[in-house]
Amino acid sequence: MIVLLIKLTSPGSVLFVQDRYGLNVRKIAVYKFRSMTVCENDAGTLKQAQRTDASVTPLGAVLRRTSLDELPQFFNVLQGRMSVVGPKTARGGAQRAVPQADQGLHVAPQGKPGITGWTQVNGWRGEADTMEKMRKRVEHDLEYIRNWSLWLDVKIVWLTICRSFNDLQAY
C-alpha cells in the first residue's frame, strides 16, 4: 500500500538508500521508503531534514511521523547488517560535521545498529542540530550497550510501537 501511495503522489523511486556506518564502522546501505522530493546533495555535505523542511512530501510527513518509512530497514535485518534493536547508525559524513573538539562523540558501534533503540524511545530522534542533542544520542547508545538484555530489547520494541504514532520529534 505504501509503495503504491508513494508512486501515485510523487515522482521518483519508492526507496531511498543512504550510506550509514554499522558494526566495526563498515559502510552499509540503509533502505527507507522515500519521504522527500528527489534531489541531489552536494558531495561531502550533511543535510538533515528539519521540522519545516519543504522537501518532505505530504505523504512523507505521515510516513516519518509514524515511522512507517523505516519498514524497508527489515531488509537490512534479514541481510544481517542491522538488528531490530541496537545503537543508532552513524550517517555518512556525520563525523565531518562535528567540531574537532567533539570527535569523541563518535564511537565505533559495539553491536549491529538497530532500526530502533534506547536513543529513539527516550525522545532523541529527529534533527540533531545541537551538540547537546548529539551528546544525548551517544549517551543513550552507550547506556544501551552497557545494560543490554533481552528484556531491555523487548521493552524498547514495545515502547517503539506505543510511541510511533504520536512522536513529536519525528518529521
Q: What is the mean pLDDT of residues 121-135?
A: 80
Rounded to the nearest integer, the mean pLDDT of the chain is 79
φ/ψ region of 58 (left if φ > 0, alpha if ψ in -120 to 50, else beta) reads: alpha
With the C-alpha atoms ordered 44, 48, 49, 54, is the resulting torsion angle positive or negative?
A: negative
Q: For residue 123, what pLDDT is reported?
A: 86
Helix (H, G, I), strand (E, B) or coil at 114: strand
Task: Give the integer Cα–Cα distance in Å for 86 and 82.
Answer: 8
pLDDT at 171: 46
Q: What percent of the chain has pLDDT over 90?
A: 29
Helices marked H in the chain — which ranges?
A: 2-9, 58-66, 73-78, 118-121, 131-146, 150-163
Amino acid letter, 51: R
The domains of the chain are located at 2-9+16-41+48-166
Residue 101 has pLDDT above 50, yes or no: no
Residue 70 has pLDDT above 80, yes or no: yes
Residue 92 contacts residue 26 (beta carbons within 8 Å): no
Residue 168 pLDDT class (50, 70, 90 cuts): low
Q: How confident is the model at residue 65 (pLDDT cuts 50, 70, 90)?
A: confident
- B/e letters for 14-30, b = 16+ CB within 10 Å, e = fewer, are eebeeebbbbeeeebeb
pLDDT of residue 97: 44
- Express each pLDDT in 9-63 by its tens digit: 988 899 999 888 877 778 888 899 998 887 655 444 445 555 566 678 889 888 9
Higher-confidence residue of 101 and 148: namely 148
- Tell me the whole-structure pTM to 2 decimals: 0.74
pLDDT-derived band at 98 (thresholds 50, 70, 90) equals very low
Give the model's confidence band at 129: pLDDT under 50 very low, under 70 low, under 90 confident, else very high: confident
